[in-house]
């Protein structure tokens, strides 16, 4: 799922192409993607784009008349910019926003159809999409610590909880925790002050570095390969590969459709965390430390 760095770069590229420009036509190519009926989507046609913003992992496109188009890419949704009049790509195209010099196309790979568009009127209606998470890059250490300790969760859950922090998901939370040298299962209530400071620094550093990197990769174009598994990540999506810091094999915890990746040597004192499925299957044969794997 595109997270804060990806969404920021999308918005920057959208601002360069559509801000202040009149929307000529809005088309829904797959009816499931539009989740609202009032106001009708046609109501934004003929109106200029007045602003763009990020709301968590959502992209908000503002139009005059106090109208807001809310786009959630979810896992497989992506945005493409095509020339005016170009044919959208096959079955994966869900909707288009057509301007005089080009068109914005929302696509989604796969068949789960999770990406969504909502059109709402008024700031109060838009606020319903705000989960309440604070912007991680806007927080000083005191504010970060207060929010982190406001509820007792594992660090992985705390970082990815949209009610606590805005825009951090599975991928960048793995990278942040690796940078901070903290276990994903460490409880927030048991963190030492030095750990909190290190986590605050790591959160800022990882998000800024990856935003800058994605911005440089995209250049003047839309982000091309938007994926949770990126070359250059330290641990996320790198199960079994060597940690770039210590060389130990990256470990994982699998749950539902997700997994958490971490380095046992750098983050858990060498302890291999229990994987719900494999540790049950292997029982006593489940390795308890990184040394048992080597």
pLDDT tens, position by position, for the chain (294 residues)?
A: 789 999 999 999 999 999 999 999 999 999 999 999 999 999 999 999 999 999 999 999 999 999 999 999 998 899 999 999 999 998 899 999 999 999 999 999 877 788 999 999 999 999 999 999 999 999 999 999 999 999 999 999 999 999 999 999 999 999 999 999 999 999 999 999 999 999 999 999 999 999 999 999 988 888 766 555 688 999 999 999 999 999 999 999 987 667 899 999 999 999 998 765 544 433 433 334 333 333
pLDDT of residue 152: 94
* Last residue in a domain, options 85, 100, 127: 127
Q: Is 11 left (phi over 0), alpha (psi -120 to 50) or beta?
A: alpha
Q: Is the preceding omega at residue 39 within 30 degrees of 0, hence cis? A: yes
Task: Check whether residue 282 and residue 211 sit in a common domain.
Answer: yes
Q: What is the CATH number of the domain that holds 106?
A: 3.20.190.10
Nearest-angstrom CA–CA distance, 231 and 55: 27
Q: The domain that contains 168 carries what CATH number? A: 1.10.8.50
Same domain, 212 and 155: yes
Residues 24 and 56 in one domain: yes
Q: Is 64 exposed, middle or buried (0-12, 13-18, 19+ CB in 10 A)?
A: exposed
Residues 74 and 201 both lie in one domain:
no
Q: Which domain holds residue 213?
A: 136-293
Specify the pLDDT at position 15: 96
3-state per-residue secondary structure call for 79-91: EEEECCCCCCCHH
148 and 110, same domain (yes or no): no
Output the pLDDT for position 1: 78
| Contact indicator for 70, 60 with CB cutoff of 8 Å | yes
Check whether residue 156 and residue 101 sit in a common domain: no
Residues 109, 147 share a domain: no
- Of 188, 199, 198, nearest to 150 by C-alpha is 188
Helix (H, G, I), strand (E, B) or coil at 218: helix
Predicted local distance difference test score (pLDDT) of residue 276? 56
- What is the domain count for the chain? 2
Partners of 52 in the beta sheet? 61
């Amino acid at each position: 799922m595109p997270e804060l760095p990806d969404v920021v770069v999308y918005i920057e590229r959208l601002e360069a192409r559509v801000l202040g420009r009149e929307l000529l036509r809005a088309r829904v190519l797959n009816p499931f993607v539009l989740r609202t009926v009032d106001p009708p989507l046609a109501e934004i046609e003929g109106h200029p784009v007045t602003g763009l913003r990020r709301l968590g992992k959502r992209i908000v496109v503002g139009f005059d008349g106090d109208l807001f188009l809310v786009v959630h890419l979810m896992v497989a949704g992506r945005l493409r910019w095509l020339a005016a009049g170009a044919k959208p790509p096959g079955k994966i195209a869900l909707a288009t926003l057509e301007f005089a010099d080009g068109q914005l196309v929302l696509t989604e790979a796969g068949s789960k159809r999770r990406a969504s568009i909502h059109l709402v009127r008024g700031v109060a209606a838009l606020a319903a999409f705000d989960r309440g998470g604070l912007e991680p890059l806007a927080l000083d250490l005191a504010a970060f610590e207060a929010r982190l300790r406001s509820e007792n969760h594992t660090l992985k859950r705390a970082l990815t909880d949209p009610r606590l922090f805005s825009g951090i998901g599975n991928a960048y939370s793995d990278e942040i925790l690796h940078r901070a040298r903290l276990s994903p299962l460490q409880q927030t209530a048991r963190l030492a002050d030095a750990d909190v400071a290190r986590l605050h620094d790591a959160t800022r550093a990882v998000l800024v570095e990856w935003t800058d990197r994605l911005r440089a990769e995209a250049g003047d174009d839309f982000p091309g390969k938007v994926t949770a598994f990126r070359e250059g990540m330290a641990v996320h999506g790198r199960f079994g590969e060597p940690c770039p810091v210590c060389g130990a094999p990256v470990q994982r915890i699998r749950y539902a459709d997700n997994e958490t990746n971490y380095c046992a040597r750098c983050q858990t004192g060498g302890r291999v965390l229990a994987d719900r499925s494999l540790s049950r299957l292997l029982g006593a044969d489940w390795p308890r430390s990184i040394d048992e794997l080597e």
